[in-house]
Structure 1
Amino acid sequence: MKILIFGIGGIGGFVGGALARVADSIYFYSRGENGRTIGEKGIQVDSALLGSFTAHPVKVSHEAGEMGPMDLVFLSCKGNGLKEACRELAPMVTKDTVVVPLLNGVLVSELMEPLLPACHVADGTIRVFSHREGPGHVVQTAGSGKIVMGMKDGKNPPVLYEAADLLQKAGIPAEVTGDIRLDSWEKYALMGSNSAVFCYFDGPAGKVRQQKDYLSILHEAVGEVMAVAKAKGVSFPVEYEENYIRIFRSLPDDTVTSLYRDLSGGKKAEDTEAAMILGRMVDMGKETGVEVPVFRRAWEWAMKQNRK
């Protein structure tokens, strides 16, 4: 089974490095100094979960013609780069290829299907904190690393189960689920609500908790996600909202999401995942008739960064 890791940043490097350590059919799609370094020296992974190691994929390239068609693709990129990633990925996809996106957002397959040739576009989530430290060097600091994947209709092809077995062999917990829609929405509710709240109050967790109305805004934000999900046929467990509030109250004071860090650090919204994380919720609110005032205010704050 030929497996392509498309995008060798924090997520792709962690997953790809782990797989390349145990399998001889792992390909990396990467360009620039990062790709050159991995091609010459392999990828160095320093992981709280897996330890430190160097792994070597079969090939590292940004030329689709050098790779050939793939059986399975793990796609890891920033949401604002999704269209370009799909364009570059398309020549390596056949009708039998299974593509699993591992990036922020909810049910990313819905965005990808119009951008790719006919194939099997699954959805996937990963619970991990990792980043690219430098060319050819990835650091994973926290998180279970667990990957959950599946098709929206629950009809999961055998390749997904083979991939889960290989991930387990590589030390990464993995599961194929018949209800990826719920898992995708649950992860988005956590990450998306946090991003919305940080943008709403323009500050990290500590600043948010200093605001008198922060608990009501937390409930509103996660409630907006849950209401839109319900309108789309996905119901959260009854305890989810209170669990979310409990987790937020326990966050270290300096906690932010990568989206808020990018925006507050001066990046324009168009150069971040703002549209994927905030704008898409606003759009889905309009589509379903659900009011999403917290996400709308956060989205408006993000768009103002374009004018600074």
Structure 2
Amino acid sequence: MKILIIGAGAMGSLFGGRLKAQQAEVFLYNRRNPHVETINQSGLAIVERDNQETTVPLKVVQDLSITDAYDLVLVLVKAHATKAVLESVKSAFSLETLLVTMQNGLGNLDVIAELFPNNPVVAGTMGCGASVESNGRILHRGWGKNYIGRSEDADAQETLLEFILLLNQSGLETELAEDVQTVIWNKLFVNVAYNSLTALTRLRNGDILNTDEGKCLLRGVVTESVQVAKAEGISVDAEATVAKCLKMGQEDIGANKSSMLMDVLHKRKTEIEAINGAVAKLGKKHGIETPYNDLITGIIKVIEANYDLQVD
């Protein structure tokens, strides 16, 4: 199986490195930057939970050809870049190529399906986590289970099952999801809880829980998100979801620097529109008030628009 990963950030690097370590035929696609150049020159260094470090030879390409014939394309760019990036490379894929999105937030599957109406497309979500510590070096700092939805296309489903087997063999625990939309919403609750709040406070995930005020903010954004999810037909309990999010911050992902925090620290565009912004937008659709998510989305957008004017 020939695999292409679109996006060589922390998660693309983690998946690519783990798959390559199992001798899978995998390539990454990303614009040139210092992280990419280091990987191409010296390999990708992956630091695991016991601080054991391995270096994997990995290739990140900037040009794609129709002759490359990828069986599966895993999309891991930031949600706001999905359309532009995929439009620029869509001619490189055949009609049999299976596209898999495991991106943060809502709406990614719809964007990809619109761009590739004749290709099989499935969505999933990640339970694992990683961050770029320095160019060419990532920290593997989340070890939850990944989920991917089924494909209605028989050939694509066979390819998908082979891909899931490869991920499990690589140590990235992955399961086929019968109800992938519920899984995606459950991941969204965690992202709503931690991404924007850590970006605003510039704290690691667990540190926003050091005060009652932080816990109250988390409860507010998650509870609103659960109300919107219910309106979208997702069966979910608010108190159980809040408790799960709190537990994750205290036990599983507390040491992580969220992707949105890293975006703000590096003065990059965030995924706020696909996370808290998506909750606020759907809330308006259903007539549900979402003051926490509205306010947080607005503040993050103000920060994004004024990076050059920030006071040191």
The gaps in structure 1 that reach 5 residues or longer are: none
Question: Which residue number in structure 1 is paired with residue 138 of structure 2?
Answer: 139
Give me the TM-score of the superposition, normalised by structure 2: 0.81
| Pairwise CA distance, 1:65 | 1.4
Does structure 2 conserve the Cα–Cα contact (< 8 Å) formed by 1:130 and 1:138?
no
Query: 1-side partners of 2:168 and 2:62: how far apart?
Result: 28
Match of 2:129 in 1: 129
Q: Aligned to 1:84, what secondary structure does the other structure show? A: helix
Which structure 2 residues correspond to residues 1-308 of structure 1 after superposition, within 5 A? 1-32=1-32, 33-48=34-49, 51-57=52-58, 60-65=60-65, 68-106=68-106, 108-135=108-135, 137-144=136-143, 146-151=145-150, 157-198=157-198, 202=201, 204=203, 206=207, 209-210=210-211, 215-237=215-237, 239-248=240-249, 257-260=258-261, 262-263=263-264, 265=265, 267=267, 271-305=269-303, 306-307=305-306, 308=309
Q: For the residues of structure 2 that align with 1:35 and 1:257, how far apart are their CA atoms? A: 20
How far 1:232 sits from its partner (Å)? 1.2
* Cα distance in 2, alignment partners of residues 2 and 64 from structure 1: 13
Report the TM-score when normalising by structure 1: 0.82
Per-residue deviation, 1:105: 1.1
Cα pair distance change 1:282/1:8, threshold 3 Å:
same
Q: Is the 8 A contact 1:154 1:178 kept in 2?
A: no
Query: CA offsets per residue over residues 119-140 of structure 1, 9 Å max, x none?
Result: 12211222233223444x2322
CA offsets, 1:157-207, max 9 Å, x none? 1211110111112222111111111111111101112234456x7564656
1:144 maps to amino acid? W
Worse overlay, 221-230 or 148-157: 148-157
3-state SS of the aligned residue for 1:28? strand
Q: 1:106 to 1:53 in 2, by over 3 A?
A: same
Amino acid at match of 1:303: K
Q: Is the 8 A contact 2:74 2:100 kept in 1?
A: yes
Q: Which amino acid aligns with 2:143?
A: S
The residue type equivalent to 2:280 in the other structure is: V
Letter in 2 for 1:229: A
Kept after mapping to 2: 8 A contact 1:67/1:92: yes
Q: Point out where structure 2 has 5 or more consecutive residues left out of the alignment.
A: none
CA distance in 1, matches of 2:209, 2:139: 27
Supply the AA of the counterpart residue of 1:100: V
* Aligned counterparts of 1:255 and 1:11: Cα–Cα separation in 2: 13
State the number of aligned residues.
Answer: 301
Distance 1:250 1:38 in 2: 31
Shift of 1:142: 1.8
Distance in 2 separating the partners of 1:35 and 1:256: 20
Query: How far, CA to CA, are the matches of 2:215 and 2:209 in structure 1?
Result: 9
Among all aligned residue pairs of Structure 1 and Structure 2, give the percentage whose two residues are the same amino acid. 23
Specify whether residues 236 and 138 from structure 1 end up closer, same or farther in structure 2 by C-alpha distance, changes over 3 A only: farther
- Note closer, same or farther for the CA distance 1:260–1:170 as it changes in structure 2 (3 Å cut): closer
Report SS of the residue matched to 2:188: helix
Q: Which amino acid aligns with 1:228?
A: V
Work out whether residues 150 and 178 of structure 2, in 8 Å CA contact, stay in contact via their aligned partners in 1: yes
Against the structure 1 CA distance between its residues 27 and 66, is the aligned structure 2 distance closer, same or farther, given a 3 Å change threshold?
farther
Change (3 A) 1:17 1:196: closer
- Cα deviation for residue 47 of structure 1 reads 2.6
Between the aligned partners of 1:149 and 1:252, the Cα distance in structure 2 is: 21
